[in-house]
Amino acid sequence: MAYKTILFEERDSLAIVHLNRPDKLNAFNQQMLHDLLDVLDTVDKKDNIKALIITGSGKAFCAGADLSSGKDTFKHEFKNSDKSHHGFNRDSGGILVLRMYKCLKPILTACNGVAVGVGATLQLAADIRTASTNARFSFPFTKRGIAPDACSSWFLPKIVGISKALEWSYSGEIFDASVAKESRLITYLFKPEDMLRETIKLAHKLIDESSQVSVALTRQMMWTLSSSSSPYDAHEIDSQVIQSRGSSDDAVEGVMSFLEKRKAHFPNKISADMPSVFPWTKNKFDEE
Q: What's residue 1's pLDDT?
A: 72
Q: What is the pLDDT of residues 9-43, one digit of tens each?
A: 999 999 999 999 999 999 999 999 999 999 999 99
Say if residues 132 and 189 touch (Cβ distance below 8 Å).
yes
Q: How many CB atoms lie within 10 A of CB 265?
A: 8
Other CB atoms within 10 A of residue 115 CB: 30
Please check whether the two domains, 6-207 and 212-273, share a CATH topology.
Answer: no
Q: Rounded to whole angstroms, how far apart are CA atoms 188 and 177?
A: 10
Q: Under CATH, which architecture does the 6-207 domain have?
A: Alpha-Beta Complex (3.90)
Bridge partner list, 162 = none
- Give, in order, the Cα–Cα distances in Å from 197 to each of 30, 110, 186, 191: 29, 10, 17, 10
Structure pTM?
0.94
Better-scored residue on pLDDT, 66 or 127: 127
* Per-domain boundaries in the chain: 6-207, 212-273
Query: What is the rounded CA–CA span in Å between residue 279 and residue 159?
Result: 24
Predicted local distance difference test score (pLDDT) of residue 281: 82
Q: Are 93 and 27 in contact, with CB atoms under 8 Å apart?
A: no
Is 287's pLDDT higher than 60? no
Strand-pairing partners, residue 65, are 28
Bridge-partner residues for 18, per DSSP?
7, 55
The rounded distance, in Å, linking the Cα atoms of 277 and 162 is 33
Per-residue pLDDT tens digits for 152-167: 999 999 999 999 999 9
Number of Cβ atoms within 10 Å of the Cβ of 279? 11
In CATH, what class is 212-273? mainly alpha
- DSSP per residue, 189-218: EE-TTTHHHHHHHHHHHHHTTS-HHHHHHH
Spatial CB neighbours of 39, under 8 Å, sequence gap ≥ 6: 3, 6, 8, 15, 17, 52
* pLDDT tens-digit series, residues 228-260: 889 999 999 999 999 999 999 999 999 999 999
Q: Three-class SS of residue 161? A: coil
210-234 per-position pLDDT tens digit: 999 999 999 999 999 998 889 999 9
Q: What is the rounded average pLDDT for all residues in the chain? A: 94
Beta carbons of 45 and 271 less than 8 angstroms apart: yes
